[in-house]
A and B are shown apart, each in its own frame.
Chain A
């Protein structure tokens, strides 16, 4: 009698979703994704769109932090580069189909990821984190000063999503685009992690010296991790720019980097399913708090919802991170894993 789920042959190892429960959840997710625009209002669809953008960006950070163990405080800079590349390319070439623009944004951001990777050759941990922070400030400084291109602090408008002359505008038009890119991003990342590169990243994360001793080229794979993570962030920045229609440096504050780190921690470092859950949790949290405050105000009219919301939000945000770090370091994915194992083994506990 097996005492859990184990991959005992190569066929099982190749399966993307080996368990029935996982396939069931996937099927429910597919149905939910299809019917969501039909049953939800525009605001919730707007939040869903923002969540999808966050998922794409968080995959990038998770590849870097969760799978390669490279701490980054500069993720907002990659998002900004993707956003501004989109604003510039789509601004000058409005007839260019949006998938091309998004790819260009991803590619340009990926190249800047090369620069951010250089300090990682020699630095680790806190020192690497500080170097990515420096990278963030340098990028934001350049964006502010390159006014003819970026609009400086005044920001830039972005034309609507253009698909061979067809303009896609609004929450409902963006939804299928965002969904397609999220699915594509997840499938690509999932498969990438099963290749030699993915295994090398995990080896570096677990112990870089041992990885090097086994023949893993640290420089190459760290650089690959940074460029891939930056590519995802660039695509997310591009989607954000297209979706909101206007970007300025205030859209890419340091808080954005912190939020992405929170997504990865809450969702579960080194898990793609956790990335989705973490991105949804952190993006939806302000809305939940807002609704809670409104509910409390309806119970106690003296309760000032509008002033309490930010404090409640910070409280829950901090609490969620601390509690997950202490009690479930694998994040929401850890919870899911426990539930999944419980269901697989049911009625036995072990």
Chain B
């Protein structure tokens, strides 16, 4: 009898929790999208006609879907912090035309299907103005038709080139160059240092990695370099076999197409194998925390990185502001000391500047036009000046080469802004 009672206790407890959660779901969802509530606010504040979803007289609700706890969660939290801190700064300065920015974060967990669902949730239940950031290349690719359907302005974390064709994808913007420019820069460096070299490429076997490999292979062909491919996935924990293959193949350089801090795994294995070929890091790997994680390895000391944004070694107003605001809002160094933080910070700069220019009653269409009208937008040296147009939705085509300063724990530029020629 006691056994039966305890069985029922557990089952009823689980079911009740489930039902309770279901109840919570319906309730909060409906509340957040209450038309009546919106109407009430309209009456209270007659100064504006509220034109778009997610915009009230007092606030603009914006969603993001980063990877907070998935395989690239280490950089996802940095990316989230960039949006969050810049929005705090804007709100402290009075918001956008009198409206505060509200950020609604949903963790995509590097799961395409989940990201797609959360995008729909943000639009339907949270009724955001726009989902300004979606993480994976795959999810962005799947959502491209939805961006058009929802007229959703997005600055995707993925910079995969195919997304930045304004004729096909009119609502997709970035502040940096698209990925292929960075990959070209990686190949160009090798072609200049050692013409005819043999290069290894370590990339994950997913949409992001295959896209990167495709561009590197193309550029290497144009520059007369030989390519040796090696798959190294984002969740792999040992690079010994891949590096052994590359060593046996006699490569002169290894180009990384990785994300997050996977470079550290590769560098440690490289040191153990006494692998001498220098590494050329893609933008997503040129991360300050990588230096600490890689330790005092020869691989990190000899590595050359490609970056789309300024480094923390540079004395430019943008970096100073980032550091001051981080201190002011209590953002930990491990969060802001990152390219990803700088990227979303800069994305947020352009997004909010567009909103300001879009006027009192912005829609995503007027926002799109406002961003397209930005010319030589000054990011305080975080990037080269950004210019957009109806036919170009990436702000810059310029990159910098950097090297690690292991003692100081940051990357230092070894070149000025450089524009790789299109192939």
Q: Which A residues contact B (CB, under 8 angstroms)?
A: 41-44, 46-47, 50, 144, 152-155, 157, 170-171, 244-246, 248-251, 281, 284, 286-292, 294-295, 306-307, 309-311, 316, 319-320, 323, 326-328, 335
Residues in B neighbouring A152, C-beta threshold 8 A: 210
Shortest C-beta distance, A137 to chain B (Å), equals: 13
Q: Which residue of B lies closest to A156 (CB)?
A: B141
Q: Give the residue of B24, B112, B124, B206 whose beta carbon is less than 8 angstroms from that of A291.
A: B24
16 contacts between A and B (CB under 8 A): A43-B29, A43-B124, A44-B29, A46-B117, A46-B124, A153-B207, A153-B209, A154-B207, A154-B210, A250-B138, A291-B21, A291-B29, A292-B21, A295-B24, A319-B14, A328-B11
User: What chain A residues lie within 8 Å of B123 (beta carbons)?
Assistant: 42-43
With most chain B CB atoms within 10 A of its CB, the pick from A152, A245, A250, A316 is A250
Q: Which residues from A are CB-within-8-Å of B124?
A: 41-44, 46
B195 to chain A, nearest CB (A): 30
Interface residues of B: mostly helix, strand, loop or mixed? helix
Q: How many A-B Cβ pairs are below 8 Å?
A: 123
Nearest A residue (CB) for B9: A327
B-side residues, CB < 8 A to A, are 6-7, 10-11, 14-15, 17-18, 20-22, 24-25, 28-29, 33, 68-70, 77, 80, 105-107, 109, 111-114, 116-117, 120-121, 123-125, 136, 138, 141-142, 145, 149, 205-207, 209-211
Contact B205 A41 (CB under 8 A): no
Q: Which residues of B contact A42 (CB under 8 A)?
A: 120, 123-124
Answer whether A287 and B11 are a contact pair too, CB < 8 Å, given A155-B138, A244-B116, A250-B138: no
User: Once the chains bind, are A323 and B14 in contact (CB under 8 Å)?
Assistant: yes
Nearest-CB distance from A54 to chain B (Å)?
11
**How far in angstroms is the closest Cβ of chain A from B207?**
5
Please tell me if the beta carbons of B10 and A144 are within 8 angstroms of each other in the complex.
Answer: no
**Are B141 and A246 in touch, CB under 8 angstroms?**
yes
Whether A155 touches B22, Cβ cut-off 8 Å, given contacts A43-B120, A248-B112, is no
When C-beta atoms are compared, the residue in chain B nearest to A40 turns out to be B26
> Are A306 and B210 within 8 A (Cβ)?
no
Provide the bound-state CA to CA distance between A337 and B378, in Å. 68
Decide: B28 and A291 in contact? CB cutoff 8 A: yes
**B124 vs chain A, min Cβ distance (A):** 4
- In the bound complex, residues from chain B placing their C-beta under 8 Å from that of A284 are 22
Cα A286 to Cα B21 in complex, Å, equals 10
Q: Does B18 contact A281, Cβ atoms closer than 8 Å?
A: yes
Q: Are A144 and B109 in contact (CB under 8 A)?
A: no
CB-defined contacts of A41 to chain B, threshold 8 Å: 29, 33, 124-125
What A residues does B14 contact at CB under 8 A? Answer: 319-320, 323
Q: Considering the complex of A and B, which 9 residue pairs feature the smallest CB-CB distances, nearest first?
A: A288-B21, A246-B142, A43-B124, A291-B25, A153-B210, A310-B69, A42-B124, A291-B24, A327-B7
